[in-house]
Structure 1
Amino acid sequence: MKVVSRIINVVLVIVVLCSLVAAIGSAITKEPMLLTVIRSNSMHPVWERGDMVIIENLKEEKTIHKEDIIFFKTEEGSLSKQGWIAHRVMSGSREEGFITKGDANKYTDQSSDGTVPIKQEWVAGKAITIGETPIVIPKIGYLSLWAEKFQSNPLLIPVIALVLAGLIAFGEIKFTKKRKKKSQGMELQLIYIVGGLTIAVIMGGTMLTSGQNLGLAYQVSDKSQGVIMGSDVGILKVGDKVSRPLSELSNNGAFPLIGTINTSDKQIELSHERVILSKGEQIKSTYTVKAEIPGKYESSIRVGLFYPFLPASLIYFLSEQSYWLALVSVSLVPGLPLMVYPFVNGKMRRKTAKLLRRKKRKIQSSLPF
């Protein structure tokens, strides 16, 4: 039974870690990364919804071959609203674009209304294969698919946190008497610490996916205006002032959210820098570029939504220093009581200190000097 229990624990840890890598990595890069979850059955029987696939992220100079399974997002046609798609390359080239098709589909993607051959720059990666078989981890992606519900119902987060804390407390009450002193070690302390970290990671992951990082390239000229491909602003003449929509902040949860918008570019003015969103509230934000100093600019605007686990003024201050500092600080708050408890509880603290001293003496005695 002990062996079976350990195997189950290892499997659960792998599932959670893979899901976190897929969710958080994709949230940061805004594209499939290393591990990605399959959301449809269009490639059956190669893989199915809920499977997780290991992918290789492609750079533009990488060659794409026929029969490769690529991950792409179209910007034209009826498929442009479906997000990232994983289909097989049937034909094509870098210059002409690629014709793609799901193995379970009768027709190619380009048979859809307005869908053109897939351009190389639309491709984020391809499935890693052994021979001709992709590396697929069956069904463990369902945890990530389920976790996506957090974005539309933030109330689930504190509920899960309370459930985790309750399970840990229940486990301590029920099994403490049954544990032998020799086998206890730091097991209970680690349960508290890992439980707190798990809550923090879940919190951070959901706040990260609700945020946005907008890259903004533009140029300021002394002489004339112009257009830059991929830029909503383009080339501005000194003295020009241009406003554009930025993001729509919304709160579909049951309690307030704290929103922050930051940029280090002094020529960009933001319509909203600090907001508190009540239940059901939506705010449309904009940015304004005031062309003052000639030059080329690669700026970014970071939009963040945070749970109100810290005072709004403190979250604003932290986000001005760094978005990541604010994210980590807010994420740690709900899990902090669990992580700190082993060091606050006198009996547990003494056991931990005693065990650490024993381990230290053991290590010192084994050293050759």
Structure 2
Amino acid sequence: MVWRTVALLLAAFVLVSVFGQIAPISYVNSGSMDPALSTGDGFVAVPAAVADDPEPGDVIVYRSQEIEAGGLVTHRIVARTDEGFVTKGDANPVTDQQAGEPPVSRDRIVAQVFAVDGRVVSLSGLGTVSMTIRGTIRTSPVGLPPASMELLVLAAGAVLFWRGR
């Protein structure tokens, strides 16, 4: 059981390293998606290339143009228009478009958040651990990008946890 988990984590590490894709597990660093995703919660990000067609109710990760300094935003689709998708954080009083973001076109959608029966599957606290690791390991001593180091540290922690059981 332990070795299977380690093998899966190492396979994920290799895939992320080789293909340079956004890690399939991400996290939120604000409360805009409460209660579906709280600050520090992790989630599985299904790449847009393999995800179902997005529709209202889905939570997506998209590249913003105006809000969040052009970074990645994880919000729910609340409507579809001819210009694109209207998005909103569950805890926000206004849509992203009312805040100045243009409607989200399909080509700006990076991933869709994994959900079961319309409910986001969250990994409580995973982001908090990841943010702590990133703060501790700014540059990798072995030449790996920080995201790869996070995965290695998490894998090592998992092995130590399961061996101690």
1:101 aligns with 2:88: yes
C-alpha distance 52-207 of structure 1, shift in aligned 2 (>3 A): closer
The residue type equivalent to 1:87 in the other structure is H
1:67 aligns with 2:67: no
CA contact (8 A) 1:28 1:208 kept: no
How far residue 55 of structure 1 moved from its aligned partner, in angstroms, is 2.3
Q: Distance in 2 between matches of 1:61 and 1:69?
A: 12
Q: Distance in 2 between matches of 1:97 and 1:138?
A: 31
1:90 aligns with 2:30: no
Q: Distance in 2 between matches of 1:207 and 1:90?
A: 31
1:204 aligns with 2:144: yes
Q: Distance in 1 between matches of 2:97 and 2:48?
A: 22
DSSP 3-state at the match of 2:97 = helix
The residue type equivalent to 2:122 in the other structure is V
DSSP 3-state at the match of 1:36 = strand
CA contact (8 A) 1:73 1:80 kept: no
Structure 1 runs not aligned, ≥5 long? 1-9, 159-199, 210-369
RMSD: 3.3
1:25 aligns with 2:13: no
DSSP 3-state at the match of 1:109 = coil
Q: Distance in 2 between matches of 1:44 and 1:107?
A: 14
Q: Which segments of structure 1 move beyond 6 Å, counting only runs of 4 or more?
A: none
Of 11, 29, 52 in structure 2, the residue corresponding to residue 39 of structure 1 is 29
The residue type equivalent to 1:205 in the other structure is P
The residue type equivalent to 1:40 in the other structure is S
CA contact (8 A) 2:51 2:111 kept: no
> 1:176-213 CA deviation, whole Å, 9 max, x = no partner?
xxxxxxxxxxxxxxxxxxxxxxxx6xx5233979xxxx
Structure 2 runs not aligned, ≥5 long? 150-165
Greater relative contact order, per chain length (Cα 8 Å cut-off, separation 6+): 2
The residue type equivalent to 1:124 in the other structure is V
Identity across the alignment (%): 21
Of 27, 44, 47 in structure 2, the residue corresponding to residue 57 of structure 1 is 47
Name whichever structure is richer in helix by fraction.
Answer: 1
Aligned counterparts, 1:222-233, within 5 A: none
The residue type equivalent to 1:107 in the other structure is V
TM-score, normalised by the number of residues in structure 2: 0.70
TM-score, normalised by the number of residues in structure 1: 0.34
C-alpha distance 207-142 of structure 1, shift in aligned 2 (>3 A): closer
The residue type equivalent to 1:139 in the other structure is G
Partner of 1:324: none
> 1:126-151 CA deviation, whole Å, 9 max, x = no partner?
11111121111110222211222233
Partner of 2:163: none
> 1:90-147 CA deviation, whole Å, 9 max, x = no partner?
1014x5211000001000001113x210111000111111112111111022221122
